[in-house]
Structure 1
Amino acid sequence: MTVSSMTGFARVDGAADGFGWTWELRSVNGKGLDVRLRLNGGFERLEAKVRDAVSKRFKRGNMGVTLNVSRSGDTNAYSVNRELLSELVQIAEEFDNTSSLSSGTIADLMNVRGVLEAYEPQEDEATRDANDAAVLASLNDAIDQMAAHRAEEGEKLDAMLRGHIDNIEATVTRAQNCEAARAEAIKDRLKRQVEELMDAGKFDPER
């Protein structure tokens, strides 16, 4: 029977257009299977699929599954708050006519807080599905790595247990041999004592 440890670790990196990710799996002993997830980068939606993939391969162990996502460069899109910008332009024009101070240019006004607003563009369905598939494929690689690590640890555990069993069996054999030798020695001693008693009970016929 193959022995598999419940202790293991796996780490797999992946990348797609505009972002990268890292899966980390850690497992310790547990009576049943307890999976704790930490998914970020908008991939919380994969929780059910991640749990299903893990439970298909492992039945025991307390397992932590972490997905860290990093975006490359500035992936935000920007929109202009035209209403606010128009108000600022109007105010600038008024000051241009009434003040000796130079009015702000459009570039200056764009730096005013609230004029230029950043937002994360929404992925289209095809892109989202492709990214999900890539991330889940690398999860399967991490699961394979974890299974291999647990099997390797299990082989070490099996060798250690077999060594202990061999030592116990050798000790029992020595004890049995000693016991057998002791019983034989006692038997010989009793035999000699009986013979001595028999000899002591014989009478000299000439007396």
Structure 2
Amino acid sequence: MVRSMTGFGRGVTTTEQFRLTVEIRSVNHRFLEVTTRFPKEWMEAEVHTKKMLSSLVSRGKLDVSVHVKELSQQQQVVQVNWPLVNAYKEAREELQKQILLDEKWSMTELLSLEQALTVKVQETSKEEILTAVDQAVQQAASALIQMREREGQELQEAVVGFKTDLAEQIELIRKVADQAVQKYRDKLVTRIAELADISALEERLLAEVAIFAEKADIAEELDRLSSHFVQLDETLQENVSIGRKLDFLLQEIHREINTIGSKNQSVEASAAVVQAKTILEKMREQVQNIE
């Protein structure tokens, strides 16, 4: 199925502690480039996300935004640095021998002891984070791909329509291809008749016309164009990333049309070549959006 490279998708996962929202925006790019913005402590989840998206999308510039909203206060734990507290106790007992101090410590005094008490927030487990991220990214990626497929269908229809118009111009060139040789012969006959007896130069005339006919022959180019059109139709039915292949085919078609334009100088063929190039350029604009 043809996919566009532009799209948007959002996924939301809710746990007991937080609500996670993942948004993915994608635009055209020659290769696959994934840019993510995760909380600093979620490095493992960020790596997991990039790997997941790389397996789902082949081309495009993906911008992944992550928003985390806390739903409840995280549990806090006070830890006592017992070795340090005991060291403070021994120092206090030494001071008490010299200075009159209260026998009991007040809570204020304990809290004032540097690094004796530390408050730690119970962190969310890596497994819970990875599970939540995986679910949200899968949901966002699914919505993104669906949107890219819808736009891809429209692009496919546009490319097929332009291909039909292009084939009509090529068929017109095929019909008028032989006219160039006849017109050249008539023109050559007129010029020679002005200079000499035409009967005496018949052999030379045939040779000149034969040389011109060989130079103006576009049969091979027309055959290759027919082959390229068949490949174009087949490629549009493939279920893989086809953007680069289509771009290559259009380059080959452009090369053949250029060669036809340089070989066949008839007015009708020249006009058809110009029209064909115009159509081809529109096709390339559409193909640039295909994954």
TM range, normalised to the smaller chain? 0.5 to 0.7
How far did 1:40 drift? 1.9
In 1, are the aligned partners of 2:45 and 2:129 still within 8 Å (CA)? no
Structure 2: runs of 5+ lacking an equivalent: 86-104, 112-116, 184-291
Superposition deviation, residue 23 in structure 1: 0.7
Structure 1 position 162, deviation (Å): 1.5
Kept in 1: contact 2:24–2:140 (CA 8 A): yes
Decide whether the 8 Å contact of 1:41 with 1:70 is kept in 2: no
Please tell me whether the aligned partners of residues 9 and 27 of structure 1 are also in contact (alpha carbons under 8 angstroms).
yes
Overall identity of the aligned pairs, in % = 24
What is the CA deviation profile of residues 70-129 of structure 1, one whole-angstrom value per residue up to 9, with x for unaligned ones? Answer: 10143362659999952499xxxxxxxxxxxxxxxxxxxxxxxxxx98753224xxx431
In the aligned structure 1, how far is the partner of 2:158 from the partner of 2:149? Answer: 14
Q: Which runs of 5+ in 1 are unaligned?
A: 90-115, 187-207
1:146 is aligned to: 144
Moved more, 155-164 or 138-147: 138-147
Shift in CA distance, 161/71, structure 1 to aligned 2, threshold 3 Å: same
Structure 1 counterpart of 2:122, one-letter code: P
Work out the CA distance in 1 between the residues paired with 2:119 and 2:69: 18
Paired AA for residue 63 in structure 2: G
Q: How far 1:35 moved relative to its partner?
A: 0.9
Structure having the higher Rg: 1
Give the structure 2 partner of residue 132 of structure 1: 130
State the alpha-carbon separation in 2 of the partners of residues 23 and 158 from structure 1. Answer: 29
| Corresponding residue SS for 1:138 | helix
Is the partner of 1:74 in helix, strand or coil?
coil
Give the 3 Å change call, closer, same or farther, for CA 84–169 of structure 1 in structure 2: farther
Shift, 1:9, TM fit? 0.9
Q: Is the 8 A contact 2:12 2:139 kept in 1?
A: no
> TM-score, normalising length from structure 1?
0.60
How far residue 24 of structure 1 moved from its aligned partner, in angstroms, is: 0.7
What's 1:94 paired with?
A: none
Residue of structure 2 in register with 1:163 after alignment: 161
In the TM superposition, 1:1-207 aligns within 5 A as 2-40=1-39, 42-75=41-74, 77=76, 79=78, 85-87=107-109, 119-123=120-124, 127-173=125-171, 179=176
Q: Give distance in 1, aligned partners of 2:167 and 2:136.
A: 46
Does the 8 A contact of 1:41 with 1:68 survive in 2?
A: no
Maintained 8 Å contact 2:10/2:141: no
Aligned-partner Cα distance in 1 for 2:40–2:66: 8
Distance verdict in 2 for CA 1:133–1:84, change over 3 Å: farther
8 Å contact 1:23–1:66 — kept in the other structure? yes
Structure 1 residues 5 and 78: alpha-carbon distance in aligned structure 2, compared to 1, 3 A threshold:
same
Amino acid at match of 1:86: T
Distance 2:56 2:24 in 1: 13
Whether the 8 Å contact between 1:76 and 1:118 is mirrored in structure 2 is no
Distance 2:106 2:130 in 1: 38
